[in-house]
């Protein structure tokens, strides 16, 4: 955490550190190219690379220095990170790798690289990193494979990502990408929340309500608090209590019950309690009729969430996690493949995943077996309904004298979401009539409206 200067100075300090790191990358590239094309003689000279810049020390060190120390990055890892950052910060450094092999009339395969749709510069691959880190040394090339393993610091901390569009081709052909939050962190020391859109089909959900506004049975609340405890202390339990030998990381749970019974609010309040962002997956942007697109869309969310303390919330989860069917057609096989992929991603996710559904029986059995908990949200009883009515409208001071909330709670079986709709309708109806208070007639009309939506009558 930065403690030594104003925000402007912090950005300048980070810029100086990144500039030095990119100059070092440029020097290493020059040395490798000179050796590759024979300008430097001797085997030992080819293996000597300029050392990385010295890092600032102390609590006021720039964010790059703090990141390198926190993640325990060595020179090779710093070089790979600098390479991934270069297209964003100093793309012209990599232009030298566009050189053409005149004998074959194409680029040099040992330089790797790929071409973006709009970016005109050289975009690095793992092959590019191998050229810089290892040169022609096969042992160092193997070492790079270890440095880019899932469990190694560069990828475990989300500093770089690998993206392979052709799995059957060599692993070294994967695009080497800077982690989505790495640039923000190294520039300003702050992490920007991702923008909702086609490339990130999930919305951050927040609430101004608290636990006192949520009306649940004591048994349900006990299960919910167990989830919150894991979300807050899961890493400690796995590491310090040494449970990682027996348990997989992450926590998967199912919220099921009638609409409006508090499933979404509960997920949001768990995040609020443990200080974690809760992202609701937008299924309309995830599910696609095109083969592979659903998996790709969902991968964007999981990849970004992998190294953060997010809680992923799938509302109406049976649209994605429904039961698998007999494979009578290619469409059935594709749908089953999607479910299998989702199952694997959810099971491998180290954070908290909450699925919500109106009916537990709609969820595929393979998912249900892997839930750490299944929490049933029942319709509230009369006492709970009265608490909901009181909590939503009593404090406003806008109730007319003829309103008897206890009577409404006793007579009409409504979930919390439906009661909120009734209160909203009552307020609108009163305002349209030019009245300052919500009358019993306003609420009765709202109740009738809600019951008709559910196919019931007053």
DSSP string, 261-303: SSHHHHHHHHHHHHT--EEEE-HHHH--SSTTHHHHHHHHHHH
| Dist CA 66 CA 55 (whole Å) | 9
CB atoms closer than 10 angstroms to residue 80: 26
CA torsion sign for 124, 129, 135, 138 is negative
48, 113: one domain: yes
Token readout for 22 is 């990119």
Give the chain's radius of gyration (CA, Å).
Answer: 28
| Dist CA 140 CA 247 (whole Å) | 34
- CA distance to 154, 392, 426, 443, 445, per residue, from 440 (Å): 62, 15, 9, 5, 9
Q: What is the pLDDT of residues 242-287, one digit of tens each?
A: 998 888 889 999 999 999 999 999 999 999 999 999 999 877 777 7
219, 299: one domain: yes
359, 376, 393 - which closes a domain? 376
Nearest residue to 267 via CA among 384, 350, 373: 373
406, 435: one domain: yes
**HSE of 95 in the Cβ direction (CA atoms, 13 Å)?**
6
Q: Which domain holds residue 229?
A: 202-376
Strand 251-256 relative to strand 352-357, pairing? parallel
Which range among 60-69, 156-165, 324-333, 352-361 shows the weakest confidence by mean pLDDT? 324-333
pLDDT at residue 442 greater than cutoff 90: yes
160, 242: one domain: no
pLDDT at residue 423 greater than cutoff 60: yes
Is 238 contained in some domain?
yes
Count of domains observed in the chain? 3
152, 215: one domain: no
348, 376, 404 - which closes a domain? 376
pLDDT band at 2 (very low <50, low <70, confident <90, very high): very low
Q: CATH number of the domain that 413 lies in?
A: 1.10.8.60
pLDDT band at 342 (very low <50, low <70, confident <90, very high): confident
CB 160 within 8 A of CB 177: yes
| Dist CA 438 CA 44 (whole Å) | 87
Is 120 contained in some domain?
yes
Strand 175-178 relative to strand 160-163, pairing? antiparallel
Which range among 68-72, 219-223, 317-321 shows the weakest confidence by mean pLDDT? 317-321
Is 226 contained in some domain?
yes
188, 221, 255 - which closes a domain? 188
Q: CATH number of the domain that 346 lies in?
A: 3.40.50.300
User: Cα 427–433–437 angle (5° rounding)?
Assistant: 45
CA torsion sign for 82, 307, 177, 136 is positive
253, 331: one domain: yes
| Dist CA 445 CA 28 (whole Å) | 75
pLDDT at residue 41 greater than cutoff 60: no
């Amino acid at each position: 955490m930065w403690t030594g200067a104003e925000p402007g100075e912090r950005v300048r300090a980070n810029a100086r550190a990144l500039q030095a790191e990119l100059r070092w990358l440029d020097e290493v590239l020059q040395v490798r190219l000179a050796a590759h094309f024979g300008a430097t003689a001797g085997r030992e000279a080819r293996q000597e690379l300029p050392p990385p810049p010295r890092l600032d020390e102390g609590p006021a060190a720039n964010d790059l220095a703090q990141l390198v120390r926190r993640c325990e990055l060595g020179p090779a890892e710093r070089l790979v990170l600098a390479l991934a950052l270069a297209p964003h910060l100093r793309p012209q450094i990599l232009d030298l790798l566009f050189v053409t092999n005149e004998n074959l009339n194409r680029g040099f395969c040992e330089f790797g690289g790929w071409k973006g749709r709009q970016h005109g510069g050289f975009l690095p691959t793992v092959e590019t990193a191998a050229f810089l880190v290892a040169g022609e040394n096969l042992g160092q090339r193997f070492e790079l494979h270890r440095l880019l393993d899932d469990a190694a610091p560069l990828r475990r901390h989300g500093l770089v990502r690998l993206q392979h569009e052709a799995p059957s081709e060599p692993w070294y052909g994967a695009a080497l990408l800077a982690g989505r939050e790495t640039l923000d962190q190294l520039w300003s020391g702050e992490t920007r929340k991702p923008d909702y859109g086609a490339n990130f089909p999930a919305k951050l959900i927040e609430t101004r309500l608290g636990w006192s506004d949520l009306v649940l049975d004591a048994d349900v609340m006990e299960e919910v608090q167990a989830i919150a405890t894991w979300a807050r202390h899961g890493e400690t339990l796995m590491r310090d209590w040494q449970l990682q030998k027996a348990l997989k990381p992450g926590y998967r749970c199912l919220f099921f019950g009638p609409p409006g019974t508090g499933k979404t609010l509960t997920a949001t309040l768990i995040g609020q309690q443990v200080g974690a962002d809760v992202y609701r997956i937008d299924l309309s942007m995830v599910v696609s009729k095109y083969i592979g697109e659903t998996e790709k869309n969902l991968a964007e969310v999981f990849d970004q969430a992998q190294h953060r303390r997010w809680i992923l919330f799938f509302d109406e989860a049976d649209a994605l996690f429904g039961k698998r069917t007999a494979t009578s057609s290619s469409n059935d096989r594709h749908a089953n493949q999607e479910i299998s992929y989702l199952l694997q991603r959810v099971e491998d996710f180290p954070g908290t995943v909450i699925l919500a559904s109106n009916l537990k029986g709609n969820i595929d059995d393979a998912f249900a077996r892997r839930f750490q908990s299944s929490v049933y949200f029942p319709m509230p009883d009369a006492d709970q309904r009265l608490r909901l009515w009181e909590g939503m409208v009593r404090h406003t001071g806008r109730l007319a004298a003829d309103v008897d909330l206890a009577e409404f709670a006793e007579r009409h079986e409504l979930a919390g979401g439906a009661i909120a709709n009734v209160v909203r309708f009552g307020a609108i109806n009163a305002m349209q009539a030019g009245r300052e208070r919500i009358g019993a007639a306003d609420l009765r009309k709202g109740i009738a409206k809600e019951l008709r939506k559910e196919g019931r009558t007053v």
